[in-house]
Chain A
């Protein structure tokens, strides 16, 4: 018996949340700011994509899922740039 895709999505979200806790606990002591911010935002992006695809049903509309993914991906990249920007200030 296979699990429904929504259940698999929930398990994946729990796993990504656990990974977020691990990275957060590690903190900037274990990672460079770019890696730390990048990992956290990558995990956030993956969670957002799962919610869009499985909870909101965009797996049925691949073009829209791709569009949302690109926009949220670029947004996460913008947040990462803003996060590391103070380190490059004069």
Chain B
């Protein structure tokens, strides 16, 4: 039996940060985004304290079923993105790319549902000035949708430049979008 290989000096010094999978900077981004959306959601629930009836009445204009479908769409998209990395690591490049394209397509489905949702609100004459609920609704879900759009572009780029490290970083961005949605959905669409 071989003796364990001593860890290089650099690894010992780097410590806990080196345990993070993937690029450090994507984790900095993930934490930053969680803080921004977290502050937004906490502010939303904080403002609701002063007018719970108004918030409940405003929420009846939302469609939680559509948002629920979008949850399924996004977590399935995340699954395809996660599988793409596993496939790329197994040297199955074509399959990995197809999974990334599938994840992008589901991202487009998410956005199409979101556009339909916004169109319904606009048709009802609901704007950011209708009620504070809708200011937060448009701000938080709109900012999230912008991240979905950016994520689709990122997935396209990593499908093109498909080395494993790039795919790991690009799909981590996509999972961050997924992570934010599972926290945003119950707060805005059900509890608000």
Contacts and interface: CB of A to CB of B under 8 A. Distances in A.
A10 B49 contact: no
A78 interface: yes
Contact of B185 (A6, A44, A75, A86): A44
Interface residues of A, number: 39
Contacts of B187: 44, 79
Contacts of B49: 82, 85-86, 89
A86 B48 contact: yes
Nearest to A40: B186
A13 B179 CA distance: 11
Interface string A4-19: 1011011001100100
A4 B191 contact: no
Contact of A58 (B21, B64, B171): B21
A4 B89 CA distance: 14
A6 B183 CA distance: 20
Interface stretch (B78-86, B148-156, B159-167): B78-86
Counting chain B residues whose Cβ lies within 8 A of the other chain, the interface size class is 35 or more
B19 to A, nearest CB: 4
A43 B72 contact: no
B22 A57 contact: yes
Interface string A50-90: 01101111101101100000001001101100110110010
Nearest to A33: B191
A24 B64 contact: yes
Interface of A, secondary structure class, is: helix
Contacts of A20: 68, 71, 186
A14 B86 CA distance: 20
B21 A61 contact: yes
Contacts of B21: 56-58, 60-61
Contacts of B81: 55
Nearest to B76: A10
Contacts of A13: 75, 79
B72 A14 contact: yes
A57 B85 CA distance: 11
A4 B86 contact: yes
B75 A17 contact: yes
A72 B21 CA distance: 19
Interface string A37-54: 100110110011001101
Interface string B8-44: 0000000010011110000000100010001001100
B68 A17 contact: yes
For the complex of A and B, the 4 pairs showing the least CB-CB separation, nearest first, are A82-B45, A10-B79, A57-B21, A61-B19
